[in-house]
Structure 1
Amino acid sequence: MKKVLLALCLSSLSLASAAAPVVIANSAGPDALSQADVKKLFLGKLKKLPNGAEPLVIEYNEGDALRASFHELVSGKTEAQLQAYWSKLIFTGKAKPPQTVASASVAVAQVSANANAIGYVDEADVTGAVKVVFKP
């Protein structure tokens, strides 16, 4: 019985500490994006933002826990599936991969500096320099 209670406590702690990614945009960017648009953006399928501009997609480095969490929620792809997906698109010349960053502060700085940038961060890392346009 003690083992069951311990397992329940540990699982609830891991859920509480799980990352809650949100999609952010520049203050001059779109006010909101649908889940379908976000999925297309981060898979290189959406070539234009609602304002007609070409998006600058900001992605975390491979292996980042927030990246895995985000794609699990939004694109439904694992890290291995993402790597295979992008390898195929790059090799065939159908898309360029998103720009990658190593931290939330860099993601926020890049998005705030470019009117057409879209990225994601943990909800706790959102600042007044960007706006949330989608919550998975």
Structure 2
Amino acid sequence: MKRLLLITCLLVNSIMAHANSNDHVMVVTHRDSSINTISKSQLRNLFMGNLALPDVTPIALSPGEMARSIFNIRVIGLTESRIQAYWAQMRFSGRQQRPETADSINELILMIESSTNTIGYLPEGTPLPEDIKVIYRSSVQ
């Protein structure tokens, strides 16, 4: 019985460690972009429409993508429902423009590859083409 309990505890700890390592995102841009690093606060401002970096277009994944939820919680600091409410208010007042949206990880990668002035986020560990560089990781703060 003690062995079974020990094995169960080790298995649960292993699963939790693996799950926590996948709960991170990396922020990427085109290799030729002049941006090499970006801070969490700059990202929050950029994706919430409060910071106009020169000629930079933020690209968000569509609602329902796990990486979007992770980005919203770890970087923006808000839940999806709070962000949607914020953008509804901004749209009503006509003040700010929400980020462009990619329907999938592959579409986001293609959008980043096709323009040097775009920034997006992907699940940590996503294989990247040569034309894309990482400028922020939520796992390193």
Larger Rg: 1 or 2?
A: 2
Amino acid aligned to 1:25: T
| Aligned match for 2:39, one of 34, 38, 47 | 34
> Is structure 2 residue 103 aligned with structure 1 residue 98?
no
Indicate conservation of the 8 Å contact 1:58/1:107, yes or no.
Answer: yes
Map Cα deviations across residues 44-88 of structure 1 (whole Å, 9 max, x no partner). 11112xxx32x2111011121110001111011001111111111
Q: What is the aligned length?
A: 131
> Is structure 2 residue 139 aligned with structure 1 residue 134?
no
SS of residue matched to 1:25: strand
**Distance change >3 Å, CA 106–CA 20, structure 1 → 2:** same
In structure 1, runs of 5+ residues without a counterpart are: none
RMSD over aligned Cα atoms = 1.9
**Distance change >3 Å, CA 12–CA 72, structure 1 → 2:** same
In structure 2, runs of 5+ residues without a counterpart are: none
Partner Cα distance (2:86, 2:12) in 1: 36
Partner Cα distance (1:109, 1:58) in 2: 11
**Distance change >3 Å, CA 10–CA 123, structure 1 → 2:** closer
> Is structure 2 residue 22 aligned with structure 1 residue 21?
no
Amino acid aligned to 1:127: P
Indicate conservation of the 8 Å contact 1:20/1:123, yes or no.
Answer: yes
CA positional deviation for 1:9: 4.7
Partner Cα distance (2:18, 2:41) in 1: 31
Which aligned runs of 4 or more in structure 1 are off by greater than 6 angstroms? none
In structure 1, the residue matched to 2:81 is 80
CA positional deviation for 1:10: 4.1
Indicate conservation of the 8 Å contact 1:37/1:46, yes or no.
Answer: yes
